[in-house]
Amino acid sequence: MTLGLDSSLQNNIGFVVLNRPAQHNAISKQMWQTLPRLMSSLKQGGAAVIIIQGEGDDFSSGANTDEATALATFEQAQDLWHSIRDCLKAVREFDLPTIAMIAGTCFGGGCLLACACDLRMASHDSMFALPIARLGLVLDDFTMSLVVDCIGPANTKRLIMTSESISSAEAQRLGLVNQVLPLSRLRSETIDMASRIVSNDAFSLSLTKKSVNRIAGCAPLAPEVNDAEVTGAFISESFQNRVNKKRS
């Protein structure tokens, strides 16, 4: 266990829990850095599939904006951004199948984390948004491709350019989530999905995941593309003003 993250293993199903419910499970730099290590530990302990979920009413409201607004230098901003980017890349390329179990808010970095997973199961009450443009931030090509892979170029542009939030029903229509369920059935149905995955051959699952990722175009894209622009946005006057305006 680390600050803001819990993990457990049940019947070859590994669970990673974003555990900051009072902050709507906003993901801190430490959490971004630790999450891939927790997944690797679960694999070493016998997990054949990983479920990522949020504690309480939300999946995640996104990256921790308190940390972002406290950044003073390019190097600090780069350290934060690379923690986010490297975590998303690690989840995307993780050897085991991954499922995001989504209830409530799934915004910003939380939505990107869900997109990095192989499958997404959502409750009827869940909401999705990527308010990047509203905050004056940008994404590198690899991270953007996680969204494009789920919902296509036109819908990615719509979601980011409008900064609108969408319902789980709309998210399913766009292809952002695989299945929408009543909240009371979300956990049981997600575990059932994971159990069906576990019953299959691990080597076949791993190679299938790698092949699909290559075909989708995510694997060859370098996360370093536009790195300076992405990093600089975190310490830009526009970002700071927009976050502070949102809080007031």
Q: Is the pLDDT of residue 157 over 80?
A: yes
For residue 154, tell me if it sits in a domain: yes
Kind and range of the H or E run holding 60: none
209 found inside a domain: no
Structural domains counted in the chain: 1
Q: Long-range contacts for 66-73 (Cβ within 8 Å, ≥24 apart)?
A: 66/26, 67/28, 67/29, 68/234, 68/239, 68/243, 69/240, 69/243, 69/244, 71/234, 71/235, 72/235, 73/235
d(CA 69, CA 66): 5
- Distance, in Å, from the CA atom of 76 to the CA atom of 44, rounded to the nearest integer, reads 32
Residue 214 lies inside a defined structural domain of this protein: no
Q: Is the pLDDT of residue 117 over 80?
A: yes
Which position has the higher pLDDT, 66 or 227? Answer: 66
Query: How confident is residue 197, by pLDDT bands cut at 50, 70 and 90?
Result: very high
Q: What is the pLDDT of residues 210-234, one digit of tens each?
A: 888 888 765 445 555 566 766 776 7
Contact 177, 120 (CB under 8 A): yes
Helix (H, G, I), strand (E, B) or coil at 153: helix
Which of 37-41, 171-175, 235-239 is predicted with the least confidence, judged by mean pLDDT?
A: 235-239
Q: Specify whether the CB–CB gap between 39 and 14 falls below 8 A.
A: yes
- Asked whether residue 97 is domain-assigned, the answer is yes
Question: How far, in Å, are 53, 113, 127, 136 from residue 117 at the CA level?
Answer: 11, 7, 17, 25
User: Would the pLDDT of 207 be above 50?
Assistant: yes
| Residue 86, domain extent | 5-185+195-200+219-247
CATH of the domain at 44: 3.90.226.10
Assess whether pLDDT exceeds 60 at residue 44.
yes
Residue 213: inside a domain, yes or no? no
Q: What is the CA radius of gyration of the chain?
A: 17
Q: Is 228 helix (H, G, I), strand (E, B) or coil?
A: helix
Q: Is residue 240 part of a domain?
A: yes
Higher local confidence (pLDDT), 219 or 187: 187
- Calculate the average pLDDT of the chain: 90
